[in-house]
Structure 1
Amino acid sequence: MNRTTVALLAALEALIAVAVGLGIVLVPLTILWAVQFDLGIDWAVFFKAAADVWLLGHGVDLTITLPATTAAALGLPGASVPFPMTIALLGFALLALLFGVRTGLRAAQTPYWRIGIVSAVVVYGLLGTVIALSARSALVAFPLWQGVLLPTFVFALGVAVGVCAGIARHARGDTDAAARGIRARFAALAPATRDGILAALRGGTAATALLLAAAAVLTALLVVVNFGTIIGLYEGLHAGALGGSVLTLGELALLPNLVVWAASWLIGPGFALGTGSSVGPMGTQLGPIPSLPLFGVLPQGELLFGFIGLVVPLICGYLAGVLVRSRVAAVPGSARTAGWSAATALGIGAVAGIQLGLLAWWSAGAFGPGRLHEVGPNPWLVGVLAAIEVAVAAAIGLLSRARR
């Protein structure tokens, strides 16, 4: 393919990514506009609402000002004054990341991958800017720079991951000058240092992936076990089939947040659903929370055996250590010491702690007025405890072979 074709295909993929992300919200709202409201309201209201949700999903901080009648009807403390909505619906961010990875992988298969990624990121950024400019209203405000930069950053992050994976997969590093230079600098490091860095990155990422997988399984089990409660909450809302469908889409967008919160629960700190509340392995203390049926999965009261969940991060750290033991064995005997293994374990813990701390930070935020301005885990606690737990377990996994 020539440069023009690569640029056009990358731009098309960016367009599709934006269309799918926005359409997931806009299509149900348009159906609601036609069926429930008989086209009696300006469609622009629903478009702005979809655009606001799309921006929120990419991490844009919204400030919502409700009409006095709506605020009075809700009866929530603090609803009568402008309040922040800063919790990112990670389902949209995950979708943008996956589209970005796909675009990056395709671009990496061509000699003109730089043109492809620039075209895709620029088009996504321009479309995001158009959406941000059209989303502002008297009810919803946000920093314009966030609306322009954050969606672009999320997509660009996925593109970067895809390009790096694609270059490594197709061994294009031998012909690309930039990749060749990076490899040369990395190869110049001492073998023990180089292998330690690679082991820390791979082991830490593996520990994070394993812990998130365990959290996803736990979330799925909670949904199955509490399915009756969830259905009862749906029925109590009297949203109807169409309203229930829109609500379900919103909950699916929030589901990745819930998985990260479950990981925080397994690590130990748990998470909050409002100021003064806590959901952790030792028990649950909640005040009034939003009437989302998905919150029916939350455990109630004290948990006699909740501490068992704390074993999961240790298992993940141990498996991560076992996974990278071959790199320890490959290090020359003079450098392969218990201290080197301990340093590698600390690196694994640091990588996992940083990754999980960032995910906890990204999944938390304000979810409404009043006490709901504090929802989600504490990223510092999650990151520090995850680093300690994973590092200790990884050290055991790394050293177990050496003692045989």
Structure 2
Amino acid sequence: MTSLLTRPDHARADAARPRPLVLIATLGGVLAALGPLVVLAAVGIIGWFATDAGVHGAPRDGMRVGALVWLAGHGSGFTVLGARVTIVPLGVTAVAVWSMWRLGHRVGDSVSGHGPDADRISDGERDFTVPTAIALFFAGYAVVAVVVASLAAGATADPSVPRVLAWTFVLTALVAAPAIAVGSGRAAIWAAFTPPTVRAGAAVAGAVLSSFLVVSALVFLVSFALSFDEAATMTSRLHPSPSEAGLYALANAAFLPNAALFSGAWLLGPGFAVGGATLVSPGAVVLGPLPVVPLLAALPAAGTPAGWVGAAMVLPPLLSAVAAFRRLRRRTLPWDQVVLAGCGGGLVAGFGFALLAARAGGAAGPGRMRFVGPFVPDVLVHAVTACGVGALLGACAVVLLERRARPVRDTTAATTED
């Protein structure tokens, strides 16, 4: 009877044995790719049936459209009536990023038992668990991307496989790799060896960039809400059915992150273009004929904006100062490291926004619509300057408050001793 109540040693050994790293990481990459892909394929089938009740074509046509949208979210581009469209629906990319992070974190948690433990890593033992998992995750994701691109390719679409692989590599490096490192616990170990100034600067960069993106999105949403009647009029010109209107709204929603980045470029000053020889900035608005896209209703009227509109350019440095102040005021660092962390974090945040803005534009159609997006070189200069100077001012405010509070603490301590 005791043999039935006591677990055999080999069973305990099998339970303690970690699952294969190759299988976990590769399967994680495959599932991270398939999750959004299946959802978009389902939406494509629903859209195919909703538009003409399935009279024309077959369900696979709807699935193919969903696959092309998924590929477009990975920078593939596609061809419509002979015109190359390279603008990326960053809303689809955001869903892919979320899927990568969730699955990457789970992969990291599953492989945390592989490799040396924390004490052996601290002693300097090499640990290839996370790099191996990242490489296998990328391989699984890339295989799905190549297969989907091959199946969805055709004379009327022609997605670019090299661009998809390049985007997959970048997303893996920027999203999946940190998720696996955090989930496995290695990130916490590595962070312990990072200088405090670098950690503080990274916190400032994240706070400045996230706050600026949120405010940019809010500015666009307010502008769109004020022009909602015009957006509804644009949609009514197409005479869509209720189901078609819903699908069209969903397609526009895929470009909301692009619109938020356009808004951020406008707040910084350089602005953006919505076609060749156009300009949308706080100082001037030059427009031409525009496609019937409801999101474009948020554009300001052509001409010279009112003088008070230029005051919006104060927001980026002000937000940067507030974000840096909030991140640095509770950190016990010398004054020079506080200033360095604030300024460095602001510069990194400005550079990061410029990179995002560079991915927000592209060709949106033939002719003049081949030029849509922020003016990236000018945005880079303005973003680095505004965020860097603003974060520096926030760090200086922390130093000044600390120095002003120090005599009060010294006086209080002396009184207590007496």
Q: Which of the five TM-score ranges fits, normalised by the shorter chain? A: 0.7 to 0.9
Deviates more, 1:353-362 or 1:121-130: 121-130
* 1:315 corresponds to 2:318: yes
Q: Normalising to structure 1: TM-score of the pair?
A: 0.81
* 1:351 corresponds to 2:367: no
Paired position in structure 2 for 1:40 = 56
Percent of aligned positions with the same letter in both sequences?
Answer: 25
Q: Structure 2: how far apart are the matches of 1:272 and 1:21?
A: 31
Q: Say whether the 8 Å CA contact 1:200–1:347 is kept in structure 2.
A: yes
* 1:61 corresponds to 2:63: no
Q: Structure 2: how far apart are the matches of 1:226 and 1:2?
A: 60
Equivalences for 1:175-254 in 2 at 5 Å?
Answer: 179=190, 183-184=192-193, 186=194, 194-254=195-255
Seen in structure 2, the aligned counterparts of structure 1 residues 345 and 227 have a Cα distance that, compared at 3 Å, is same
* 1:26 corresponds to 2:26: no
Paired position in structure 2 for 1:394 = 391
Q: Say whether the 8 Å CA contact 2:276–2:369 is kept in structure 1.
A: yes
Q: Structure 2: how far apart are the matches of 1:392 and 1:328?
A: 20
* 1:104 corresponds to 2:95: no
Paired position in structure 1 for 2:9 = none
Paired position in structure 2 for 1:73 = none
Deviates more, 1:286-295 or 1:340-349: 340-349
1:245 CA displacement: 2.0
Q: Normalising to structure 2: TM-score of the pair?
A: 0.78
Matched position secondary structure for 2:289: coil
Paired position in structure 1 for 2:122 = none
Q: Which runs of 5+ in 2 are unaligned?
A: 1-15, 115-128, 405-418
Matched position secondary structure for 1:59: coil
Q: Structure 2: how far apart are the matches of 1:318 and 1:121?
A: 38
Q: Say whether the 8 Å CA contact 1:266–1:313 is kept in structure 2.
A: yes
1:6 CA displacement: 6.8
1:155 CA displacement: 4.6
Matched position secondary structure for 2:113: coil
1:383 CA displacement: 1.7
* 1:382 corresponds to 2:379: yes
* 1:140 corresponds to 2:157: yes
Matched position secondary structure for 2:84: strand
User: Letter of the aligned partner of 2:65 in structure 1?
Assistant: A
1:4 CA displacement: 3.4
Paired position in structure 1 for 2:413 = none
Q: Output one character per residue of 1:33-90: Cα deviation in whole Å (capped at 9) or x when no partner.
A: 335053432444433332222111111233x252xxxxxxxxxxxxxxx432111110
User: CA-atom RMSD, angstroms?
Assistant: 2.8
User: Letter of the aligned partner of 1:365 in structure 2?
Assistant: G
User: Letter of the aligned partner of 2:305 in structure 1?
Assistant: L
Q: Output one character per residue of 1:328-364: Cα deviation in whole Å (capped at 9) or x when no partner.
A: 7522xxxx45xx6654444223201210110000111
User: Letter of the aligned partner of 2:363 in structure 1?
Assistant: A
Q: Say whether the 8 Å CA contact 1:29–1:246 is kept in structure 2.
A: no
Which of 39, 43, 65 aligns to 1:49? It is: 65
Deviates more, 1:144-153 or 1:298-307: 144-153
Paired position in structure 1 for 2:87 = 87
* 1:366 corresponds to 2:380: no
1:372 CA displacement: 0.7
Q: Structure 2: how far apart are the matches of 1:249 and 1:9?
A: 34
Q: Say whether the 8 Å CA contact 2:47–2:62 is kept in structure 1.
A: no
Equivalences for 1:99-178 in 2 at 5 Å?
Answer: 99-109=99-109, 110-112=112-114, 114=130, 117-151=134-168, 153-155=170-172, 157-167=174-184, 173-174=188-189
Q: Structure 1: how far apart are the matches of 2:213 and 2:263?
A: 8
Matched position secondary structure for 1:4: coil
Deviates more, 1:156-165 or 1:204-213: 156-165
Q: Structure 2: how far apart are the matches of 1:172 and 1:142?
A: 36
Matched position secondary structure for 2:237: helix
Q: Structure 1: how far apart are the matches of 2:398 and 2:21?
A: 49
Matched position secondary structure for 1:294: helix
1:205 CA displacement: 2.2
User: Letter of the aligned partner of 1:122 in structure 2?
Assistant: A
Q: Say whether the 8 Å CA contact 1:128–1:152 is kept in structure 2.
A: no
Deviates more, 1:340-349 or 1:82-91: 340-349
Equivalences for 1:6-21 in 2 at 5 Å?
Answer: 14-21=29-36
1:228 CA displacement: 1.9
Deviates more, 1:228-237 or 1:87-96: 228-237
Seen in structure 2, the aligned counterparts of structure 1 residues 402 and 34 have a Cα distance that, compared at 3 Å, is closer
User: Letter of the aligned partner of 2:100 in structure 1?
Assistant: G
Q: Structure 2: how far apart are the matches of 1:229 and 1:318?
A: 36
User: Letter of the aligned partner of 1:246 in structure 2?
Assistant: L
Seen in structure 2, the aligned counterparts of structure 1 residues 226 and 24 have a Cα distance that, compared at 3 Å, is farther
Q: Which runs of 5+ in 1 are unaligned?
A: 67-81, 187-193
Q: Structure 2: how far apart are the matches of 1:118 and 1:401?
A: 42
